[in-house]
Each structure stands twice: as C-alpha cells, then as structure tokens.
Structure 1
C-alpha cells in the first residue's frame, strides 16, 4: 500500500494536465475540449430526455445554467482531486502548522482547496522546498482556472444576445419560412433584401460565435421569439425557396446569407452528432403565388432542393433538437390559409 500511495502523483499529474489542456482548448482554440464536450453531451442528453418525456420545452431552457455550471464544477473537481493526489502521494509532504504532524487525506484535500482558491490560510504547511514550490504551482493553476472560467462565461452572454437579436428579427419578420418571404415581399420597404443584406451583419456575428464556441448550439431558449433553433431553419428554408423558385435575378446577398446559414448548420451537426433525419417535405408554393411572387414550377424547385438535401436535413435536425416541428418552421403567412401546413409534418 505505501508503494501504491507513492505512485498516486501520476494520475494526479495527469488529471491536472488534462484540465489545463481542456481549459485552453475550450477557451482559446476554436472548439471545445474533450472533457467539456463529454460533460455537456451527458447533461444535455439528460435535459433533452426530460423535455421529451414531460412534453415541456421549458426544461431545455435550463441548458445554459446547467451546462455552464457542469463545466465549472468538472474542471474544479478534477483539478482539486489531481493536486490532492499529488500532495497525498508523499507521506509528510504536508504537516500541521502547529502540531507538526503529517496531514491526513481530508486535511490534504482541505489544503489543496484553499491553495487553489488562493486564500493561503496557512493552517497546513509544506516543510520541504520541493513541496513548497509545488504549493506555489498549485496556487498559480488555481488562478489560471479562475481566469479561464471567466473567459469561458463572458463570451456566452454576448453570443446569446446576438442569437436573440437574430431570432427576434426573424420572429417579427415571419415567423416561418413562407411567412418570411411573403411578409418581406409585401410589407417591407426593402422587399426581399430584408432577408439578405439586412441580416448579413448579425448573421456573421452569430456564425463566428458558433465557430469559436460550438457548444452554443446546445443552449436553448423556451420562448419562440428567442429560439434560434426555430428561426434559423425557417430562414434557411426561405432562402432555398427564393434561390430555387424565384424567377429572374435573386436578391443581392442571398448566396452569402445562405452560406452563413449553412455554416451554422454544419457546426450544429458537428456539435450534436448523431444521424440526420430525412429531408423535410417539399414546400408548398401556393401561398407565395397568391402573394404575387413570380415563381418557377414546383418540379424545378424540387430538383434544386435535391441538390441541397443535406442542408435541409441539418436544418430539420436543428429544429427537432429544440422540439419544434417542421410545420412550425415552414408555416405560411397569416391570412394565407393552411396550405403551407398541409404538406409539412414533423
């Protein structure tokens, strides 16, 4: 047993190293660390299961505090345990400041806790130079953990504000793919350009945020007006309809707007994983024709949409992840009847 105890510094060192690498990958590099991804996927799967079983989308609205708290708790717990194993591996590495007796395991755990938090209470000390230096390194790693925890949290708030700005703009312009087109065409001073050029800036911000922090795709909102996983698929479907069915020249910026939607759908699929659902039903063009839009035939649109089947499947997966049906994504404009819903199931 004493020999085994002296080897505990190895798993302890590996735990500390794993946390530091995970922090740097998650907070500095574009992506998320393996530890953070594992925790997020487990917690998100549990929330999604509760929401599906209960039929309450509100459970998904807890994803932001639950996932962020899960990351912080995981990083802190693993670093705390790692340093505890390192100091506990050598008997006599820590002693009581008053008694001079070797610290127990619980006392070592306590010492590591206040060292990582940089409190420096001094109730337990390291009598030998090597362990004093390691105490300093542990305190620095604790400061490192605190700094990167702030770096992890702050961008999420800004990204969520940008997501809500985009979702709210699309909600008020639609909601729903066909409503976005009809309302832009009939009730906006810039016409269809309101779906392309006017959205470029916020689309690029949201796209860049999700490329840097892909786990944003797991953060859900309860209210429909804030739900990017409802309105982004609607925008993507609307842009595909315009590109594939509109006669004449398409609005300027349409392809750039669609490229941003496609990029967001790709980072969503990379983050969520799993098999993609079948492509959604063909859109019903009748409400758009009634609104006066010059459109090609349904057959021409269907041929075009087959070329973009993967994008439509990713958009459908995104809406399903938020527990939205495709009928809600592709709903027709108010006053256009139910033709758009008659062919759009979940």
Structure 2
C-alpha cells in the first residue's frame, strides 16, 4: 500500500509541477491540466449566467484564474501528502511520536507555505531533503503565480483598450466605416496602424496567456466579441468600397492581423463552429454578399460567430446600436 501512495504522490506532483511551470514560464499557452480546468470553470460560469444573469460575466476571468491556482495547489498538496504517507515514520512530533494522517496533512500545508512551525519534523535524511526542497518550491510557486497573474492583468488591459478603441469609433460596422472615411489621410493611416499594433499585441498575449480569453464583461458596449466582429466587418466593407483605394494596403495589413488573432482563438478555444450557410440563414448581411466574399471574411465570420455565441450575443448585436 505504501508503494501505491508513493507512486500516486509522485505522479500528481509531476503533473502539477509540469503544468504550473509550462503555464507560468513558457509563454506558449497553458498546460493540458490548466486548459481543462479553464474550460470546466467557464462552463460553470455559463450555467450561472443562465440562472443569475449577465452580471456573472464580471467574475468570469477571476473565477477561472482562481480555479487554476486552486487546482495546482491542491494537486501539489495531495501529492506531497501521499509521499509522506508512504512511510508512517517519515514525520514525527517534537517528542518522537509518529504523525497521524491529519498531522501529516497539516505538516504538508505549512511546508508548502514555508511557515516552518517546528512542532513536527521529517525523520529521515530523504524526507528532510524533500521537506527542504518543497519549502523552497513553495516560495517559487507563490512568487511565480503572482507574477503570472500580473502579466495576465496587463494582457487584459490591452484587450479592453482594444475593445474600447473600436467602440469609440462607432456602434456598428457602418458607423465605424463612415468615421474612418471621414478622417484625413494621415490621421486615418495612423489610426489603422495603431489598431493593427493593438491587435498584434493582443494576439501575442492571447497565445502566451490564453486565460485572458475568459475575461468577459456584462454590458454589450464592453463586449470584446462584438467590437472585434464590428472591426472585421468594417474592414470588409471598406475593402469593397471605391473610397478605400488610397489606403487599401493598410486595410489588408489590418485584415491580416485580425485573421491571425482569429486563427489563434480557433486553435485554442473555438468549438461547434457554425458554417457560412448557417450564418447567412440566421442573419442578413446587407453590406456584403457572403458568396462573393474573400476566404478570410468567411473564416473570420465563422470564428467570430462562435466567439459571439460564447458571450451570449448574436450577429444582430454586431450590426445594431447599443
């Protein structure tokens, strides 16, 4: 039985530690465990939204982050506890009495928290080394986790800044296109370039910190899905207009950045995609004929349709004012 405890404990530690370091330090997305926890936490939020309303979305990202942190901590705690449990004589109190299960659990908790209470101690050189190692790991764990969440906060600020910038230009694709066409050439190119930079930055952040995807807002005007869909539709409208010939190259660069962002969203989060036909049947896109549209437009609409669905919005919200 002690061998099983040891094996399970080592396995849990390896899973949790790998997932933790890959998620917080690799800059290449989340580990397998964190991704699964994120999806489960988001589904729980969606259920709460149906019961309590859209205000729950204000806690969406916070809840997902806390669930990931709790899962890491719980797995490491249980894993180390099982390793201690594999040897009944591993932990003793100050008078030499062997610790029971609750006392070993207590010893594990204050080892990870680096408290070092001293009323219990490891009893062999191997467990002394193990205790010292995980006391040091506890410091690294909480420091790295807080640094990671600060980076997520920075990525979230960029996401919301991008969404706000698009919203301030207009409350529908037609309004945004009209605003862009009314700008003088130098200011228009500057605005397009700035939007492109913000999208590229968010795309990089989205890949490095995928949890930022789950930060949503209650109000329609703050919805990232609606605003990014409006911007993409605006680019399509302008590319198919005669007035945009002078800044077509800038628009194509903006479209490339948008397509790159949507590809990353699809790779990491999209599911149950609607087809181009489904979207055409469910909403009348009066600005463009979908059958004659570019491949990018069709693909982007498919992905943004799924993004809108995840926020409980539809294409009607994209084309209607708040």
Could you tell me the TM-score, scaled by structure 1's length? Answer: 0.84
Residue 123 of structure 1: how far off its partner (Å): 0.8
Report how far residue 252 of structure 1 moved. Answer: 3.9
Does 2:304 correspond to 1:315? yes
Partner of 2:266: 269
Q: Which residue of 1 aligns with 2:77?
A: 80
CA distance in 1, matches of 2:120, 2:216: 45
Answer yes or no: is the 8 Å Cα contact 2:5–2:83 preserved in 1. Answer: yes
> Structure 2 unaligned runs (5+)?
none
Unaligned ranges ≥5, structure 1: 286-297, 335-346
Q: Which moved more, 1:215-224 or 1:167-176?
A: 215-224
3-state SS in 1 of match to 2:240: helix
Asked which structure has the greater CA Rg, the reply is 1
Partner residue in 2 for 1:181: 177
Q: Secondary structure, in 3 states, of the residue corresponding to 2:317? A: helix
Shift of 1:131: 1.1
Higher helix share: 2
Q: Which residue of 1 aligns with 2:67?
A: 70
| Number of positions where the alignment pairs a residue of Structure 1 with one of Structure 2 | 315
What is the match of residue 255 of structure 2? 258
Q: Pairwise mapping of residues 1-346 of structure 1 onto structure 2 (< 5 A)? A: 4-29=1-26, 30-51=28-49, 53-54=50-51, 56-97=53-94, 99-186=95-182, 193=189, 196-246=192-242, 248-279=245-276, 280-281=279-280, 283-285=285-287, 302-305=291-294, 308-331=297-320
CA RMSD of aligned residues (A): 2.2
Give CA deviations for 1:138-186 in whole Å, capped at 9, x if unaligned: 2122122212211321111111111111111111101222221022223
Asked if the contact 2:93–2:119 (Cα under 8 Å) also holds between the matched residues in 1, the reply is yes
**How far has the Cα of 1:49 moved from its partner?**
2.5
Distance 2:128 2:291 in 1: 71
Distance 1:55 1:95 in 2: 49
Shift of 1:94: 0.5
Q: Is the 8 A contact 1:196 1:251 kept in 2?
A: no
> Displacement of 1:189 after TM fit?
7.2
Shift of residue 250 of structure 1?
A: 4.1
8 Å Cα contact 2:239/2:251 also seen in 1: yes
Shift of 1:31: 1.1
